Structure 1
Amino acid sequence: MQPIQRRILLLGASGYVGGGLWSGLSPRHWVTGTCSSRRVAELIPIDLRDETALAALAQQGFDLVIHAAGLVDLEQCEANPPLTRDLNVRSVEVLIQALHGTSTRLVYLSSDNVFDGRLDAYTEDDPPAPLTVYGRSKVAAENLLRDSRHVVVRIPIVYGRSPFSDRFFERFRKARTLAQTDIVCTPLYLPSLAPALEQLWDYSGLLHFGGSEVMTRYTLMSRIRDALQLPTEIVPVRSAELPGGQLRPPRLILRSNRHSLSGPGLEEALADLRSMASP
């Protein structure tokens, strides 16, 4: 059954995850996307710190506001906590206030980095224990939306193509690509996120959505390189060997006790990637 067409404001459409959502949602919905410092012709430029402009845009009669913007690089967040809070937390406060009294619902994309990686797996019932400025900013934003009509969707590391910021595949253009053997996750194929959100955005509260397989980052990168016959050498490393590696929790397995959806297995995702043009 085709989803009901929605009028959507997609914040962060110029980014990696946001671009994937733009590609997936635009053919089926009326999507207005935004960009920030890197301008994209079909997107509206906006600075999340411009509270007046952000509130005015959100109040233009959308059915949904999907917040896929903000600061995500762990080292950048550690270096600038005030900016991290402005982009990842304060923007949510502004949106909540702007949408009060309207029928527009907010879908906020959060992260598995709200956890410390000590448990075998995490569901929505497990309490957050963030290790980083980034993780703490995500928890702070989630808390603003607790017990509201809005929805928070936590996602893990994401892989696949994105139209405006293809940063995942940029790693494969290097002669050598470092990949951790001690970081375990449920990687999510980016094109699966948009159709999943179409099934999840009528929920409220907190949701997890991850991939169906558990693997290390090294396994993920190696299998993609081999399947697509990419020229880079995948070099196995321990997380502590990388700059900022200590910031990454060692095991982040997202599972849900609120729904049965999950992203495709890696072989299915690789078949889809092989059907596209090579990098």
Structure 2
Amino acid sequence: MSRYWQSGPGDSPSDPRLRILLLGASGFVGGGLWRHLAARHEVVGTFANRAIPGLVQLDLRDERRLRALAADGFDLVIHAAGLVPLEAAEADPELAHRLNVRPVEVLLAAVRDSAAKLVFFSSDNVFDGSRHQYTEDDLRSPVNVYGRTKTAAEDLLLADGGHLVVRIPLVFGRGPWANSFLARLAGPTTPARTDLVCAPVYLPSLGPALAELWARTGVVHFGGRDVVTRFELMSKVQQALDLPTRVVAARGEEAASRCRRPPRLVLRSTRHRLLGPGLDAALAHLAGRSPA
């Protein structure tokens, strides 16, 4: 499945059309999910600050509005919103908890008496980066505020039962509205760390993979096929798109990071065999050299 942005067996025209609430549809990951799912299902997507036609406004801290929206007869509630930048979470742990943990409590209460299932997007940052790779059964040990909020949110959802946690790594690509990944390559130079290793996922592969996985409960991982450093990834993207930036190798002590980052986060699964596409295939698609 090296080109997993194509429709898979769980994504055929004969599959039932679902009514889905997609929280965070205006974001980078949420936008990628929206692009795939809205073409196949009835999707209500949300935005927080950046108004986008077709999406509804929602502040996750507006608990009454969040509860009412989640209880409005959906089959699936996909939670891909929250405070994402690691440095922002580290700088304001209280805000990180309000945006990454408390909404899960509200959502669980809202869907408890309905048939709706919650699908929560979590992170490889629930791990400390000390292992060669991580599966769903490995012990979580977050080393930063963002990872701790994701761990707390996972605990709430898993204790309730019947829902799904999808852990993902660094995601790369071009979103329909938000382009937080490519924004990192917007300056004349792009520092990229040689001491951070991951198995990044290509954004268009997330929607098809999710459609294959959302019938499950508990925890699943979805990682990319290739294992690379941040420097290798950024260099390959810069070359594939011929971007006017120079990717500069950096290490932790040179990057002046304001929060601790796990050094090696490679997600693998014991629950399924899906992987995102290899980097060469993904970058050829991103650069327009291969069809979707």
- The TM-score, its normalising length taken from structure 2, stands at 0.92
User: 1:237 aligned to 2:253?
Assistant: no
- In 2, Cα distance between equivalents of 1:186 and 1:245: 23
Tell me the amino acid that sits aligned with residue 213 of structure 1.
D
Runs of 4+ in 1 over 6 A off after TM superposition: none
Residue identity matched to 1:191: P
Q: How many angstroms does 1:41 deviate by? A: 2.2
Deviation, 1:197, is: 0.3
How many residues of Structure 1 are paired with residues of Structure 2 in the alignment? Answer: 277
Matched, 1:130 2:168: no
Residue 119 (str. 1) matches residue 131 (str. 2): yes
**Secondary structure of 1:53's match?**
helix
Q: Are 1:271 and 2:284 matched, yes or no?
A: yes
2:190 pairs with one of 177, 189, 201:
177
Instruction: Identify which of 105, 109, 125 aligns with 1:97.
Output: 109
Bigger drift between 69-78 and 169-178 goes to 169-178
Within 5 Å, which residues of 2 pair with 1:168-247? 168-244=181-257, 246-247=259-260
Letter in 1 for 2:236: R
- Rounded Cα–Cα distance in structure 1 between residues aligned with 2:256 and 2:52: 31
Gaps of 5+ in 2: 1-8
Q: CA deviation at 1:246?
A: 4.9
Q: CA shift at 1:245, angstroms?
A: 5.7
Is contact 1:8-1:66 (8 Å) kept? Answer: yes
Equivalents in 1 of 2:50, 2:255: separation in Å?
27
Q: Does 1:159 align with 2:165?
A: no
Alignment partner of 2:30 out of 12, 18, 28: 18
Higher RCO (Cα < 8 Å, 6 or more apart): 2
8 Å contact from structure 1 (residues 12, 69) kept in 2: yes
Contact residue 239 and residue 245 of structure 1 kept, 8 A: no
Write out per-residue CA displacement over residues 78-119 of structure 1, whole angstroms, 9 at most, x where no aligned residue: 111111111111100000000002110000000000000001
SS at match of 2:185: helix
What is the rounded CA distance, in whole Å, between the counterparts of 2:16 and 2:255 in structure 1?
A: 45
3-state SS of paired residue (2:272): coil
What is residue 42 of structure 1 aligned with on the other side? 54
AA aligned to 1:28 is R
CA distance in 2, matches of 1:18, 1:105: 17
Partner of 1:74: 86
The structure 2 residue matched to 1:259, chosen from 272, 279, 289, is 272
Q: Secondary structure at the match of 2:101?
A: helix
Structure 1 length normalisation: TM-score?
0.96
Calculate percent identity across the aligned residue pairs.
Answer: 55
- Structure 2 CA distance, aligned partners of 1:234 and 1:10? 34
SS class of match (2:248): strand
Contact 2:87–2:259, Cα closer than 8 Å, also in 1: no
Is the 8 Å Cα contact of residues 159 and 189 (structure 1) preserved in structure 2? yes
Matched, 1:83 2:102: no
